[in-house]
Structure 1
Amino acid sequence: MVTTQSFRLLGKPDVKDIICDQVEGENVVVWEDIEQVFPGVKYITNGNTVISMMRDSNRNRVAPQCIKHYPGAILDVVLSTTISDNPLESTSDTSNAPNTEERPSASTMTLDLETEIVRRLTPNIQAQLRTTSNGFDLITQAAKDGQIDPSDVVRRCFHQLKAEMTKNMELSTRVVQLTEKKESQTQSFDQMALIRRRIQSLLTRKHDLHENPIPRLFVVLPMIHTSSLDSQDSFSNTFRLYFLCDCGDHTKSTNSETPHHIHLAKHEGYEITRPEEFFQKYGQYVLTVLQMLKFGISTEGTTVPTLSHFVEPVASCQTPADQQFLADTIESGMDLTIGYIEKVSEDKRDGTVRFAEQMEDSEALESADLRHMETFLKKKKDDKRTLGNLYRTVTSEGHARWICIDHFRENYQEETANTLRETTKLLKGSYSEKLGCAYVNLCSRDDADQLHLALEKTKTICELGIIFFWDATRSDFKRIRDSLARFHIGLLVLNFGLMSMYDIVARSRRYDDILDVIRHPSVHSVKVSLDTNFFQQSSLQTYNEYFPNLRHMTLHFLNDQDITGLKCMVAKAPNLSSLVLYGVSTRPLLFQIYNALAEHQTFLINSKDQSLIILPPTNKSELSITTLQDTADLLKFCGGRLETAELLENELDETIAAAFAKGTENGSCLKELTLKKAGRDLGRQGVKDLASLVARSALRKLDIHLENEEERARILESIQWKHIRELTVYMNEGNHGMGPLKALVDGLGMLSGRVEMDRFELQHVTPRRLLPIAQDQLLRSFVASTSLKQLLLHVLMTPNQIFSLLKTTNLSLLEQLSLLCEGFKSTEVDSILDKLQHARSLRCISVGNCDITEEQEVKAKAKGFTLSVFRML
């Protein structure tokens, strides 16, 4: 394979590849070859470093003159007369292009333009004035001598003045054009500087293990087929997401010849199921990545190469034709994606302002955003690989990276991995090579010895979990502490159980060794579960060290004597993001803990089944699951910070509704809400409070099961449809159950276009009667206004009602369909299967209260989905 080196003129986007030669077995680029491609070359730079000519052992230049080969890098060529126009050049030291001089400000450039215009025009104007003055003197003298008619003099002067005015008009127009061009360049510089800041922020941001649950770098390209590239329908708003290998200096090994620049993962990519919603949420982040790939950049050990090198690694997972097609169309595909992002953008204001605001909004994704992004990807049912077929690693600084198998294998020790795999199996645990995590159960000191031996040769491990099932002594924990110094751990999970009966005297010192384990510098994130009496039997209050790596902590069976120690622990753990306390059984103790910890962080509290979950409100990487049990005071204080709430049976009354509404007056974080109430009504004010709660919450999931029909309808009227993804509604039977459906149809009627939802379930409280005609019509109107993934209709319907419903249903996204039938025959089931032949995403269909044949099951399987039966009494 021919080895090449990439070059570009400083400040220019075009890249040229020059073939390398070899000198004494080392790849080099001959200077004469560079001069042929770039006449007038003065010197070459790599970032801020000027590249020197190669020299021999006597420090003499090698003949012929040449420079060293830099794999994967784009070297900048500086000419003897270069005037840099590079829009990405800045005073930062992290670009591929060197910063040879500071770029002047916009005002300075404008002043220089005016000075240059005056300098160039002044000699011409002065010469014209001298000529005009001399000519006027001659003409005046000739008129006095009677040689010419004075009227001719006036006429000639007029024509001359008109000609001069025409010239001046042309000159003024030229000045305006030059000024506008310079202002446009200044605007471009501002935009490119903004792009550069966003790219640097994206590449240099450090992610701990819990912040990087799936790969963070990806690119989105339109799905364009070679057969339809020349047709108008070649781009049909369908996109594929490709993950990137996040390699760099952290993946390099000694004497490595493998390029370590960011590239496409060895994976065919994933189709995006809901592109418009995807780009509304992630569009600006995608825009930043696309700009990064178009311009290329090198910063803090990470290099983004030219597009030709960028697509090479996917060759192993695509046909040669598809690989070449991707290489040929990637740049135009990027432009199409950028255009689509701009099209779906809601901001239609001035382009420069909109561009700046979009780029400023493109912050790096949080872990919750990454997890949610996975729901937009269409994956094969039998694909058990990690996303992008990438491997999770952790750097020596404890930051998570997802890399391809080639870069993973470069630092891979197969023997060590096999030993660790066998050991975790022996210790009734688990090991994942791709995720880099190992979990073990230690039941004896011999088990601990086995683990120590397996970890001896391990350099880094992303995640290590240890559950202690034996009464370990102080010396056992000290050995664990010393073992951690040998390698880097992204996340350490410790679950301490039994106390040693033989270590009663040294209990407090024994727990001090646990504290040393928690704060060990080689561990970058800790999740710990401690046994009872930990705070009373440790010297935590006099312990002088902090626990910056402690992220998650679980404690069991606290009492009021533990509050002081718990408060001390929280105060010394500034990065604590979740605290789970089991065994808090009384409300007074609950509020004692809340008040004690509120001095350090404002916590969110949950009480259920004698447990307490406390989360800081600013934590975006954890989902605060909250089930409330008649704690109205708690809702008043913390209701605005709840993300998930279930109000069930006796929990739901007018007092609770009023408290929740009060707690969300200044804003609501609520994402999921379940309302289930049987028996007496909530009352007019209670319904009004719940409706206001729903109206001010960006709910993604709503499950409403209220016995009163009017209450259901009033609350459903308040839904924010642009956020809702899952909706479950229970209805009464008969014509008096129309209220909820009418509220849904009326709400959707206010919108333009279909609403995309993941799941809609409609269920009669006791499905014994057929769906009335009026309800059937409303249901069809609602379904026609939506695009659903899961449609679950547990209401009795006739064959004709179902056939009419399927005609109005958008089948393109439908993955699951559940129908409750009445009086169905085998032939009518066949008709349903025929009508679903265009539902390409369908995976499962369930029919209730009817029989299916084995032949129908085979027919469904041939269409790509399963057919099953369920019974409802």
Structure 2
Amino acid sequence: MTTPHQQFRHGDIIESLAMRKDRITGEHYSQVIDIQETFTDAVRFKVNGVILNFLEDDSGQRYEPRRIAHHPNDVIDVVVATSASAPFVPSSSLINNTSTHSGNPNYPSQLLLTDTEEIPVVALNLQPPSTSTALAQSSNKGSHRTISIARSMAALSSIASNISDLQLQLERSVDDQSAHHQQLLEQLIQIVAQQNEMVAQQNEMLRAQAESKEREEKMLAELEAAKERDQELHRMQQQTIDRLIVAQQRVDAILVQNYELHEYPIPRLFVILPDSYESWDPRNLLKERFRLFFLCECGNDCEQGTSQGTIADTPVRPIRARNRIHLAKHEGYELSRPTGFFDRYGLYVLGMLRILKHCLAVATVTAPAVALVDNGIKDVMDGVKSISESTMKAVDMSINFLEQELDECGVSDALAGTKSDGKDADDIFKSLAALEGADLRRLDTFLRNNDQDKILGNLYRTTTEEGHVKWVCFEHYQEKYRATALVSFVQAVEAANGTYNPHFRKVTIILNSSTTAKDFFKRLTRQAPAVDNLDVTLAWDFVSADLVNLVDMVAKSNVRSIAIDLQDSPFSSSAFAAFRPGKGRYHSLLGLLANKNLHRLQLCNLHQFGARTSNLPSSVVASWIQSFGFHGQVNDEGRDRLTNILSLCPNLVDLRLTGSLSKRNEMDPGLHLQIFASKKLQRLHVMGWYRDWTETPEGCIWRKGMPLRELVCTTGALDHNFVGGSIRQSYECLEVLVLIDHNGNYARLDLMPLASSGISDGHYFPRLTHLDLRVQLTDGSMEFLSSILPRLDLVYFGCDSRTYALLRHVNLASLKSLSLDEDRYNTFRLLKEAIQGLGGGCQIESLNVYGIDYCYKDLSEILKELRLKRLSLSRACASAMIYLFRRLNLSSLQIVSLYGSEYLPEAGNVPAQKRKNESAESLMVQLDVRTWKNYTDASYEGAIKTQTLGASPALPLSYCVQNSWDWGDHHFLFLQPILPRYSY
């Protein structure tokens, strides 16, 4: 078969070059760079004297590298580059005509030309240089120079036109052989001299303009530096002012606190209630016995006094009380001198009773076990409702009694101001003054106090940030302490560049030293009872004692879920530590299995895990462990240790054994059987493992599968029949299905339901939300999945070249994440049309694409339609990346992850510039080690510190390096935040 070719000619040389074929249109073409390898100076091409145009794509842009169309029946002439200056050579007829006058003494001898003599004519550039235009816009002085240059350029243009006219006239006047011919030659020489002089003047003006521009740029740089210094000075001044304000606030708080600690030595909010209201006799009020009860000043709305002004400004502070105050948990105090008490405190107590009544009417308040009932009814804790009703009756009796007493004492005007009908508590009692120090200290003389510890009403004194004193019950005292302690803990975590997620009650932190670790775990046990989810990385050369401290402190905390990354590798200095069975470096970590509070344990990057630990005795049964995970490399001994751990965790619901897809672990029958023995297992992840045996070992009896909610695995890790059987058994409950055949060495997988099961297509996978199939499926499975995918509300879908056909059947309206391989079937064009068909209803937030060099233009159209939060790209060249970034919607983008790509500083500058207008959030760029190396190598010297062996690179802001050496690892990292999260 003849290879399609094209013939090219330059002079007497004719060469035949093989043609290229467009992968989309199938048309043949030639690339200019191929032609230039044979004809070095080739710039343009002709066919029959007609210059050929370069080919363009559908958008009207020239292909890069440039292309020309195939002309099978023609020979294409090559046009080579010429010199920028062309000599003026008179025609032979003119020379011959001139030689006939050599004997004429009047004819100038210098005009006698031979065929080897030339008159140089400087080539004219009629376009003004860009530098002059830029300077014309920057200063008035530059504008005058630009006008001069424009005039010069006009003159030069006129001269060039005259030269052309004269050349034509010379050619036409060859036959005249007249004196006019000689005159034209003299004029031509004069014009050339004038042109050279004008060009010299123009060059001088350009040099002057360049010097002026350099001075202006230097001045602008100095102004910019001065502006930055002013801004820095202003920022420092503002910081000083802020510190002064904070210091003043602290001083005010100390003054307020010192005053109120002296003025309020005991609680100031109290009421009186009858000792027994069921035998209450309103006719013998003075014979009835009353008890005094203190109130808890809980909440910011119950804060006494105002937070404005000084102590001297408001000697009498109004009480601010809302529906959060309540009776303290105390039996109350008997009044030793009721009459004197009512005379001094009656009006104040009446106001407090009405506040309490308002609180009881608005919200259900838990009353203390007080002696409000007679001896026949002692159980006052039958329910919150009965307690509230009893307390309300007692409050009403006390209010009626005090109103009658105070009315008889002639204080009816004061009583009118405390009426509460239809008014808010703050509005009614804002004139009610708080008791000051002398009155409070005198209160103790009216009480029969049997408290030996002097804790009145079981209340505890606290101070607010403003310095105000508050008396609260033990529960609110603990709440305030816990909140304050948690704030201090979170501040310490953030100071160590960690994070705290209050929704998941999770702390994520990297510890860089033993001292930092001890301080963190000490705070964890004392200040963070709300933290029950811990993700910790040990990023220093720790020793066994550090792990012992970690295990002990976690046991004392409320942590229920822990993930530990030891960042250990064969290259670390600790890798050559002595291995002693039972006393290995990691053995103390297995003590976490004895922590009954712990429900989830995840171990990552433990080098020589088997050699540095020993098997636990069979008597140790960690029935409380519901989730176990291990990520990293293991040898035979490490695999046996994992088998031992799984045998001690009979109640596992979640099992995750993962590793690098490029450095896979070998699965043996023992571990395989132990996985099958987990009868309660619902979520199984086995990634980065392989089987070196295909036949079932003798004595091994496999189960036909197990019902699972999640199955994420590489097909070579588990028995083929087990995978298919588990999927069929899980058709009703399966939510996540991710199957990856990384090497493509395994047989086709059959996912069709068995005919004997009687299951209809409409009831298959009803709960499936995450589906990623990168395996070879049977034709029947492909057809079956195509029929059920349109009705599934998937939130994540992934496929490769083997399962691309399924994408067109996916319900895009529900998708939030999508993972695709290189487009070889124009799938991106169909996907773009489908997304546009949703009319802005597409919810895709995360996108992962592997290999984009041949489809990035179609991909760019998709990126313009989506408001992505995460974008992951693999195998992208520099030009493709720049093209995509220029069209990428950055309004919601938070993370860009790149693997095996040519990420150059030019590509990074594109989103950096666009973020000023499109993005308000920080943009994190994640690079694998090789991409990061390409980036640093291409950066200018000194801008970024390059990576050194054994140490993490000093990354610029918003950059991080991921330790992913293989595309499978990159895909694994993309999956982690997409898969569902669970609490154990």
User: With structure 1 as the length reference, what TM-score do the two structures score?
Assistant: 0.39
Q: Which is richer in strand? A: 1
- Determine which structure has greater relative contact order: mean sequence separation of CA pairs < 8 Å that are 6+ residues apart, divided by chain length: 1
Larger radius of gyration: 2
